[in-house]
C-alpha cells in the first residue's frame, strides 16, 4: 500500500514541479482570480496582468481557493508550505486532518489524500497504517478568535454543535427535529440544512413549479427547474454576478461579501458625504456605502458588527446594536441587563436611554421611576468571561430574541425563522415547547 502511495506521489511531484518552474504563481491566470498564499491560512493573492497582489481575510476566516472567498475554517483544508529555493518536495501536515497532507515545492502546495486505510504521520511525513499513526482532530479550529464564543458543527452528528470559547469546547444539542446549520451557525429547520446524513441538497429540483437551483460545479451558473425536471445545460450569470444557492438569486460579488443595491423606502444616505458608511438598522452586521446619496448595501463578516463611529467592522462588545422588530412608530423596551437603562425604537432605529440617578426603568409604566418603587431584577452578564460557562439572557422584545454574554456585554441574537428561545433549555426551540410568555 505504501509503495503505491510513493508511485502516485512521484507523478504528482513532476506535475507540481512543472507548475512552479517559472516561479510566477500568477502566470497564465485570469485577471481577478484569487489564489492561495501558502504562508498563512488567511492569506491570498489577487492575480492581475500576471502579477500577484497580497491580501488577508478578516479575523476568524481562512481563504478558500475553490470557492474564491474567505470562509469558515471548518470548510477549508489549509495548506502551509515552507519557503524553499530548490525543487525538492516536502510533505507537510494539515491542521485538523488525519488523511490529507500538503505536497509542497518552492513554497507552493497541492492538497493530497492518503490511500484508504492510511493516515498521514506528521513526524515521519509519510502515509502509514492507521495503527502506526497517532492523529487526533481538534473540535475548535485554531484560526477562530478564542475570545469570542463561536458555534461550530459537530463532526459526525448534525443535531449537535460545539460552542468554542477561550480554548474549550462545550457540546450542545439542538431541539428535537432541528439540525445545526453551519452557514448561519444556529439550529434550524431540517429543510434549511444540508447534512451528510441525507438531507436534500439545495441543488435538487422541487417537485412542482418553476425554480432556479445552483450548479454544483461553479458559482456563476444555475439550472432552471420545471415541475421537478432540471434543464440539461446550465445558464450562465452575467459578468460580475454569482448565483446565491441559499436565496436562489443573482448577486454582485466581491471577495468576501455579497453586495446589492438596497431598495429600502428610507434613504439612509440623504445628506451623507460620498464615501461614508452608515448603519443599516435592520441588522447589526449590515451597513451602507453612500455615493451620490445612493446607498449600496454590504455586510460585515459573521461575528462582527458595523461600527459607524470607527467606519469599520468591529467586535460586538465594542458596538451598541439592537435590532428593532417594528420599523414604524416608537416602542420602549427594558435594557436586557441594566435596570437604570432602557431601549427606544423609533421608526426602526434604536437608542439607549439612561434614567436619572436613583431611578429605575419601570417595564409596566414604560418610564423611569424611583428605584425604591420599582422591583427590577435583571440577569447580568459577568464582567469576566468564564470559558467553561456560556451565559444566555432571554430576549426583551420578541420570542425569537435572546442575548449571548461576551466580555460583560449582552450580544443580541435571533433564532431561525419559526423558532422561539427556550429559556429553560437555553436553546432555540419550537414555539409550543419554548412556551414564550
Q: CB atoms < 10 A from the CB of 92, how many?
A: 18
Q: Judge whether residue 143 has pLDDT over 70.
A: no
Q: Judge whether residue 387 has pLDDT over 70.
A: no
CATH number, domain of 149, equals 2.170.140.10
Angle, alpha carbons 63-64-70 (nearest 5°)? 50
Do residues 46 and 111 share a domain? yes
Do residues 164 and 237 share a domain? no
Q: What is the pLDDT of residue 77?
A: 82
Residue 166 located in a structural domain: yes
Of 81, 100, 132, the residue at which a domain comes to its end is: 132
Residue 157 located in a structural domain: yes
Residue 296 located in a structural domain: no
Do residues 115 and 164 share a domain? no
Do residues 226 and 191 share a domain? no
Residue 269 located in a structural domain: no
What is d(CA 240, CA 79) in angstroms, rounded to the nearest whole number? 28
Confidence of residue 227 (pLDDT cuts 50, 70, 90): low
Confidence of residue 331 (pLDDT cuts 50, 70, 90): confident
Q: What is the pLDDT of residue 14?
A: 44
Q: Judge whether residue 352 has pLDDT over 70.
A: yes
Do residues 122 and 47 share a domain? yes
Q: Judge whether residue 11 has pLDDT over 70.
A: no
Residue 322 located in a structural domain: no
Q: What is the pLDDT of residue 254?
A: 30
Of 132, 159, 188, the residue at which a domain comes to its end is: 132
Total domains in the chain come to 4
pLDDT in tens, 275-320: 788 888 888 888 888 888 888 888 887 678 888 888 888 888 788 7
Q: Which residues contact 97 (CB under 8 A, 6 or more apart)?
A: 77, 120, 137
Do residues 114 and 160 share a domain? no
Give me the residue label for grid cell 468591529: 314
Do residues 144 and 119 share a domain? no
Q: Judge whether residue 260 has pLDDT over 60.
A: no
Do residues 86 and 159 share a domain? no
Q: What is the pLDDT of residue 5?
A: 44
Backbone angles phi, psi at 295, to 5 degrees: -85, 135
Q: CB atoms < 10 A from the CB of 341, how many?
A: 17
Residue 302 located in a structural domain: no
Do residues 102 and 166 share a domain? no
**Whole-structure pTM value:** 0.39
Residue 65 located in a structural domain: yes
The parent domain of residue 169 ranges over 139-199
Do residues 217 and 156 share a domain? no
Of 132, 152, 171, the residue at which a domain comes to its end is: 132
Do residues 122 and 170 share a domain? no
DSSP 434: H
What does the pLDDT average to over 23-30? 75
pLDDT in tens, 182-217: 878 888 888 888 876 433 344 566 665 555 666 655
Q: Judge whether residue 247 has pLDDT over 60.
A: no
Amino acid at each position: 500500500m505504501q509503495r503505491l502511495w510513493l508511485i502516485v506521489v512521484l507523478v504528482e511531484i513532476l506535475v507540481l514541479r512543472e507548475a512552479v518552474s517559472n516561479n510566477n504563481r500568477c502566470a497564465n491566470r485570469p485577471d481577478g482570480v484569487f489564489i492561495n498564499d501558502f504562508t498563512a491560512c488567511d492569506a491570498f493573492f489577487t492575480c492581475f496582468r500576471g502579477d500577484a497582489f497580497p491580501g488577508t481575510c478578516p479575523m476568524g476566516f481562512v481563504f478558500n481557493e475553490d470557492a474564491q472567498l474567505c470562509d469558515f475554517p471548518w470548510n477549508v483544508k489549509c495548506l502551509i508550505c515552507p519557503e524553499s529555493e530548490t525543487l525538492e518536495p516536502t510533505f507537510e501536515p494539515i491542521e485538523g486532518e488525519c488523511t490529507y497532507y500538503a505536497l509542497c515545492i518552492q513554497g507552493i502546495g497541492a492538497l493530497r489524500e492518503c490511500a484508504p486505510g492510511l493516515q498521514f504521520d506528521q513526524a515521519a511525513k509519510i502515509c502509514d497504517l492507521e495503527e502506526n499513526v497517532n492523529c487526533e482532530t481538534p473540535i475548535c479550529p485554531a484560526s477562530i478568535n478564542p475570545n469570542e464564543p463561536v458555534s461550530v458543527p459537530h463532526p459526525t452528528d448534525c443535531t449537535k454543535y460545539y460552542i468554542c470559547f477561550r480554548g474549550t469546547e462545550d457540546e450542545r444539542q439542538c431541539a428535537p427535529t432541528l439540525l445545526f446549520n453551519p452557514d448561519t451557525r444556529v439550529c434550524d429547520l431540517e429543510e434549511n440544512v444540508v447534512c451528510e446524513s441525507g438531507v436534500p441538497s439545495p441543488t435538487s429540483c422541487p417537485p412542482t413549479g418553476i425554480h432556479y437551483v445552483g450548479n454544483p460545479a461553479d458559482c456563476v451558473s444555475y439550472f432552471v427547474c420545471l415541475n421537478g425536471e432540471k434543464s440539461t445545460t446550465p445558464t450562465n450569470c452575467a459578468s460580475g454576478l454569482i448565483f446565491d444557492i441559499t436565496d436562489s438569486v443573482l448577486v454582485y460579488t466581491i471577495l468576501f461579501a455579497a453586495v446589492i443595491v438596497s431598495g429600502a423606502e428610507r434613504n439612509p444616505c440623504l445628506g451623507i458625504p460620498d464615501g461614508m458608511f452608515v448603519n443599516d438598522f435592520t441588522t447589526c452586521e449590515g451597513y451602507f456605502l453612500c455615493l451620490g446619496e445612493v446607498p449600496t448595501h454590504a455586510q460585515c463578516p459573521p461575528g462582527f458588527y458595523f461600527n459607524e463611529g470607527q467606519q469599520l467592522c468591529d467586535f460586538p462588545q465594542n458596538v451598541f446594536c439592537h435590532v428593532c422588530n417594528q420599523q414604524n412608530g416608537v416602542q420602549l423596551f427594558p435594557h436586557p441587563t441594566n435596570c437604570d437603562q432602557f431601549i427606544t425604537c423609533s421608526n426602526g432605529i434604536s437608542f439607549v436611554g439612561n434614567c436619572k440617578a436613583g431611578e429605575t426603568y419601570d417595564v409596566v409604566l414604560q418610564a423611569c421611576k424611583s428605584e425604591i418603587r420599582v422591583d427590577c431584577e435583571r440577569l447580568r452578564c459577568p464582567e469576566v468571561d468564564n470559558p467553561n460557562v456560556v451565559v444566555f439572557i432571554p430576549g426583551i422584545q420578541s420570542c425569537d430574541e435572546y442575548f449571548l454574554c461576551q466580555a460583560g456585554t449582552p450580544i443580541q441574537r435571533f433564532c431561525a425563522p419559526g423558532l422561539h428561545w427556550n429559556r429553560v433549555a437555553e436553546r432555540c426551540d419550537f414555539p409550543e415547547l419554548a412556551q414564550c410568555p
